[in-house]
Chain A
Amino acid sequence: MSNLLEITPELRHRRRKSTAFRYVCMSVTWMSVVLLVLLLAHVTKAGIDWLDWQFLTSFPSRFPEKAGLKSALLGSTWLIGLTAAFSIPIGVAAAIYLEEYAQKNRLNEFIEVNVTNLAGVPSIVYGILGLAIFVRGMGLGRSLLAGALTMSLLILPVIILASREAIRAVPNSIRQAAFALGATRWQTTRHHVLPAALPGILTGVILAMSRAIGETAPMVMIGAAAYVAFMPESPMSDFTTLPIQIYNWAKRPKEEFQQLAAAGIIVLLVALLLMNATAIVIRNMSQKKGA
């Protein structure tokens, strides 16, 4: 009788294969970490020497040593401010409707599917839409306002999806308790569901805004100018943004401009990092409170 517990060569082979597989998967996973480190190291090495106060406070220039990010920083700030003002109220309202009010019918189901699919539309298509509707159709020109409206349409689906997740995570018992005390749907939503969902909504909104900061293609489409050597003063001003400035520098063959692009990227990444850190802090705080 053969021993059932005997380790046959075949079994040894299978086990070895399994171990090898595990190591392959593990090293592939670690690769993401390595890639991130490589990317950050590469950018920092190229750009850190250019990063100084003068770089942050000068207008773009033909001469690399005089060039700076001033108009791009201001443009991005304006753009994000306006975009937030348009997209956050509408996005959160749409999410409230879909989670708290919508009955299950064809129209509402269509809205849901539609939002999911809109989130997957390439950003450049939004740029084409903005160019045709806001820049030309409504005659807003290549202004901050046209840019912010375009950007709002682009990130609305992101805000809606994130806010819905947050609202859905509020336990039903809270709603039922409010209803039982005679509150209307809006009172329940306004005073009980929204406060409970707020940290989640905030996290989603911040992530959506950090996506908006980095978006380049739609702003190129609506014609955010390459060279802006003045401060944007009103929503109707011409503008440029951080990523567009980076793109313009990166396109140039001269090495100094490449390094300027890297310095711009450092500024962009630091801004993103701050926003993401805020989101993570909010998330952790709310988790602690919940537990």
Chain B
Amino acid sequence: MQAQASELHRDRQREWREKSVRRTLFVCALLSILTTIGIIVVLFSEAGKFFADVSIFDFLLGTQWTPLFQPKSFGVLPLVCGTFLIVAGSSIIAMPLGLASAIYLSEFASSRFRRSLKPILEILAGIPTIVYGYFALTFVTPILAYVFPSIAVYNAASASIVVAIMVLPMIVSLCDDALRAVPNSLREGAYALGATSFEVSTRVSVPAALSGVIASFVLAFSRAIGETMAVSLAAGNSPNLTINPLESIQTMTSYIVQVSLGDTPTGTVEYYTIFAVGALLFLITLVSNVVANRVLRRFREVYE
């Protein structure tokens, strides 16, 4: 009788411990949702204060961005344009190169070469963005200046090039994953019909892996939008509505950095601009990430 009671007691204790462990773990997992809520609440409530002073149409459609000096003007288009200039430039460079590397790795390369290249890609992906900014400023820009003497010291072209180098590893490894998920039987079928390796790659493997390839492009695109330090070091701080990559521009991210480095007093319209611009940045990257992850998830389900 005594023994049974103590066993019961032990069981209860055990049950209680199990429950409290589960609860603690759950709270830790919940923290990620709190973070998201925090981001949304902070960005949009503070941006709300900005939109109390500036109409949202002036913000989204205005073509002058001069919040830090008179006459003040809060048209965000020059920043958006600057951001997309960098995104377009880096995409044009990184997407074909990344896909070509991935094709080589998954279709042609020996497994030994793959194994030795993967760490190199990981190192490239792990180099802090500030290092790429330095590289852009002191290596890429002088080379560009040699080719295009009219180039500005701070320019969109050199920033685009280093952002391309930055997103390249991500594109390569995601495309490589997608290509390797394509069943070999498809390739063998094409080879059996007499296709060359070029034809197999471009007409069988890549189309079959297309959703993964596109998802990798979208993720790279969103990385490039959010890229901050390299861009603010290399591309300059002049909000220009231009599509000329040789000129100095300002992106949304480098504007936010510029304000936080200055001494803008809390509570002014200038201060709230960082939340308005941040909210816009967050929305654009969130939408592209959600789309890309959904595509990635779907295509994983198809082949597994």
**Which one, B122, B124, B130, B281, contacts A125 given CB within 8 A?**
B281
Q: Interface code B102-123, partner A: CB below 8 Å = 1, 0 otherwise?
A: 0111011100000001011111
Within 8 A of B (CB), among A201-253: 207, 210-211, 213-217, 220-221, 223, 226, 243, 246-247, 250-251
Q: Does A276 contact B (CB under 8 A)?
A: yes
CA distance A18 to B197 in the complex (A): 6
CB distance from B215 to the nearest CB of A (A): 12
Are B97 and A33 in contact, with the CB atoms below 8 A?
no
Check A216 against B228 for contact (C-beta < 8 Å): yes
Of B39-47, B57-65, B73-81, the one contacting chain A is B39-47
Q: B302 on the interface (CB 8 Å rule)?
A: no
Q: Once bound together, how far apart are the Cα atoms of A110 and B124, in whole Å? A: 32
CB of A61 within 8 A of chain B? no
Q: Chain B: how many interface residues by the 8 Å CB criterion?
A: 84
Q: How far is the CB of A217 from chain B (nearest CB, A)?
A: 4
| A265 and B32 contacting across the interface, CB-CB below 8 Å | no
The answer to the question of B189 belonging to the interface, with a C-beta cut-off of 8 Å to chain A, is no
Contact B134 A246 (CB under 8 A): yes
Q: How far is the CA of A76 from the CA of B24 in the complex (A)?
A: 30
CA of A64 to CA of B101, assembled, Å = 42
> Are B100's CB and A185's CB within 8 A?
no
Q: Does A280 contact B (CB under 8 A)?
A: yes
In the complex, are the beta carbons of B168 and A32 less than 8 A apart?
yes
**Nearest Cβ on chain A to B139's Cβ, whole angstroms:** 5
For B227, the chain A residues whose CB sits under 8 A away are 122
Q: How far is the CA of A121 from the CA of B172 in the complex (A)?
A: 21
- In the complex, the answer to whether A90 meets B31 with C-beta atoms within 8 Å is yes
Chain A residues whose CB sits within 8 angstroms of the CB of B281 once the complex forms: 122, 124-125
Contact A124 B256 (CB under 8 A): yes
Q: Which residues of B contact A127 (CB under 8 A)?
A: 256, 260
Are A276 and B126 in contact (CB-based, < 8 A)?
Answer: yes
A153 touches B274 (CB 8 A): no
Q: Quick check: is A272 within 8 A (CB to CB) of the other chain?
A: yes
The A101-124 residues at the B interface (CB cut-off 8 A) are: 101-102, 110-111, 113-118, 120-124
The complex places the Cα of A97 from the Cα of B30 at a distance, in Å, of 10
In whole angstroms, how far apart are the Cα atoms of A277 and B242 in the complex? 44
Q: Are A124 and B39 in contact (CB under 8 A)?
A: no
- A269 x B97 contact (CB < 8 A): no
CA of A214 to CA of B229, assembled, Å = 11
Give the nearest-CB partner of B39 in chain A.
A129
The residue on A at minimum CB distance from B266 is A136
How many angstroms between the C-alpha atoms of A286 and B275 in the bound complex? Answer: 46
0/1 string, A19-50, CB within 8 A of B gives 1: 00110111011011101101100110010000
CB distance from A146 to the nearest CB of B (A): 13
Once A102-B29, A132-B42, A268-B128 are accepted as A-B contacts, the answer to whether A39 and B101 lie under 8 Å apart by CB is no
Partner of A133, one of B31, B33, B42, B100: B42
Residues A133 and B233 in contact in the complex (CB < 8 Å), given A14-B199, A122-B253, A124-B228: no
Query: Is A184 part of the binding interface, using a Cβ–Cβ cutoff of 8 Å?
Result: yes
* B245 interface residue (CB < 8 Å to A): no
Q: Is A15 an interface residue (CB 8 A)?
A: yes
Among A26, A160, A250, find the residue whose CB has the most chain B CB atoms closer than 10 A: A250
Say how far B196's CB is from chain A's closest CB, in angstroms: 4
The tally of CB-CB contacts under 8 A between chains A and B is: 250
Nearest CB on A from B170, distance (A): 11
Overall SS of chain B's interface = helix
A118→B31 CA distance, assembly (Å): 12
Give Cα A160–Cα B14 distance, bound, in whole angstroms. 27
Q: Say which residue of B43, B104, B201 sits within 8 Å of A29 (CB atoms).
A: B104
Would you give the shortest CB distance from B294 to chain A, in whole angstroms? 9
Would you call B212 an interface residue if the criterion is a C-beta within 8 Å of the partner chain's C-beta atoms? no
Given the known interface contacts A33-B120, A123-B228, the answer about A18 and B130 at a Cβ–Cβ threshold of 8 Å is no
Question: A94-B32, A221-B257 in contact; A132/B46 too (CB < 8 A)?
Answer: yes
A125 to B172, CA, bound (A): 26
Q: Known contacts A29-B109, A117-B286, A128-B278: does B128 contact A97 (CB below 8 Å)? A: no
**Across the interface, do A217 and B120 meet the contact criterion of CB distance under 8 Å?**
no
State which of A25, A29, A110, A223 has its C-beta within 8 Å of the C-beta of B117: A29
Pick the contact of B285: A21, A122, A215 (CB < 8 A): A122
The reply to whether the CB of B174 lies closer than 8 angstroms to some CB of chain A is no
Q: Chain B contacts of A207 at CB under 8 A?
A: 126
Given the complex, which residues of A lie within 8 Å of B35, measured CB to CB? Answer: 118, 129, 153, 156
B197's closest neighbor in chain A, by CB?
Answer: A18
Q: Given A117-B293, A136-B266, are A33 and B42 also a contact pair (CB < 8 Å)?
A: no
User: Are A265 and B131 in touch, CB under 8 angstroms?
Assistant: yes
A186 at the interface (CB under 8 A from B): yes
Q: Is B290 an interface residue (CB 8 A)?
A: yes
Residue pairs across A and B with Cβ atoms less than 8 A apart, 9 shown, are A18-B199, A96-B25, A101-B22, A122-B285, A123-B228, A133-B38, A216-B128, A221-B260, A247-B133
Q: Give me the 3 closest cross-chain CB pairs, A-B, nearest first.
A: A122-B226, A214-B128, A25-B104
Q: Residues on B close to A: CB < 8 A?
A: 14, 17-18, 21-22, 24-26, 28-33, 35-36, 38-39, 42-43, 46, 97, 100-101, 103-105, 107-109, 117, 119-124, 126-131, 133-135, 137-139, 165, 168-169, 172, 196-199, 201-202, 219, 222-223, 225-229, 233, 253, 256-257, 260-261, 266, 274-275, 278, 281-282, 285-286, 289-290, 293
Q: Please name 4 further chain A to chain B contacts, defined as beta carbons within 8 Å, in addition to the given A39-B131, A123-B226, sorted by A numbering.
A: A25-B108, A43-B135, A121-B226, A125-B278
